[in-house]
Amino acid sequence: MTEVNDRDRAVFEAGIKLGALYHQFVGTPISIETVDDLSRTIEQSVILQPYVRSVSVSIDREMVGKKLNPRYKYCELEGRMLNVSLQIRYKNTIASAELAHDEELDYPLMSVKKIEEM
């Protein structure tokens, strides 16, 4: 058993932010026309939270296009449509993480990409 360090905290916070935005916004009605605006709104809601250094959100237009209801011309945001990359800074550690659709697993996979200790 070892003590919790700054690196652990940076990585933990990255996980929190991805899990949170996913379950906050999945289900939101969207169309091709609203994906950019919703992406900005998600970014703004993430950047407010503690230790977030940067965040970039995009929503897969092609998937949205395929999922549009033929009659009503909108669909709901699904986890697999989301591409998110973010950086958490906790003291001298920067953790970079992302959410991206894993095609092989057909799963919205969250992963730590990089850890920098300064």
Contact residues for a second copy (CB under 8 A)?
Answer: 1-2, 4, 7-9, 11-24, 26-31, 34, 37-38, 40-41, 44-46, 48-50, 69-74, 76, 79, 95, 97, 105-107, 110-117
DSSP for 18-40, written as a single string: HHHHHHHHTT-EE-GGGHHHHHH
Closest by CA position to 89, among listed 28, 2, 3, 13: 13
Nearer CB in complex with a second copy: 48/60:
48
Neighbour-count burial of 50, counting CB atoms closer than 10 A to its CB (0-12 exposed, 13-18 middle, 19+ buried): exposed
CA atoms within 13 A on the CB side of 6: 12
Nearer CB in complex with a second copy: 61/107:
107
For 21, phi then psi, to 5°, come to: -65, -35
